[in-house]
Amino acid sequence: MSAPPSVADESRSIGRREDRRGLSWRRVWPAALGVLVAAGTAYGLGDARDAAPVVVASGLVYLAAGATGRRAAAWIAFAVTFALIGLDKFAAVDALPWLFALAAVLLTFGLVTRRTRPWWAFPLQVAGMAAFGALAYVAVQLSPAVGGVLVGAALLGHAAWDLVHHRAHRVVDQRFAEFCAVLDVLVAVVVVVLALRS
């Protein structure tokens, strides 16, 4: 016959449950933030091509981390791009030229300072920015249906980019890559649905 649990055993058990709750929140907050930002991005989206700045921003945040050699730069760049996209959405400010201008500044900074290790990380982010930027630019020139599907495909492509960086644990923080992947996939789904209905 086993002895009844002691007060010490019960308090240890309660402590473990509290630790698990704390750890689980630490594990899920990037995805939860991705869902929240995706909802805000999708809110009021009429034309699927209007999500093209999100594609450019996705490349730009990685370029910021690559150019500076600091993972935290991705979060700072995200805050800046989020503000620009918000102005685009609510104040009729075209975010695309501003995002491309920021990318040019980061490219110049990265070339001048050469802070990134390993050496190939920065050129890889430049290539990513160029590809995602070109897709977004082309998408806004096309019809709402075709352009919207292209924006959705670019976002899904960037979600794959996020997963590769998450697994490699390079350039950006893994939490950032997870947040960005959730955001990209959810916005891509909304955008493609909108495009196919137009």
Question: Cα-Cα-Cα-Cα dihedral of 158, 197, 53, 161, to 10°?
Answer: 0
In this prediction, residue 9 has a pLDDT band, given cuts at 50, 70 and 90, of low
Cβ neighbours for 55, distance < 8 A, ≥ 6 positions apart: 132, 133, 135, 136, 139, 151, 154, 155, 158
In this prediction, residue 23 has a pLDDT band, given cuts at 50, 70 and 90, of low
pLDDT reported for residue 2: 52
Nearest in space to 52 (alpha carbons), one of 157, 162, 133, 115: 133
Q: Give the Cβ contact number of residue 77 at 10 Å.
A: 23
pLDDT tens sequence across 95-136 = 999 999 999 999 999 999 877 677 788 999 999 999 999 999
Over range 64-91, report the average pLDDT: 93
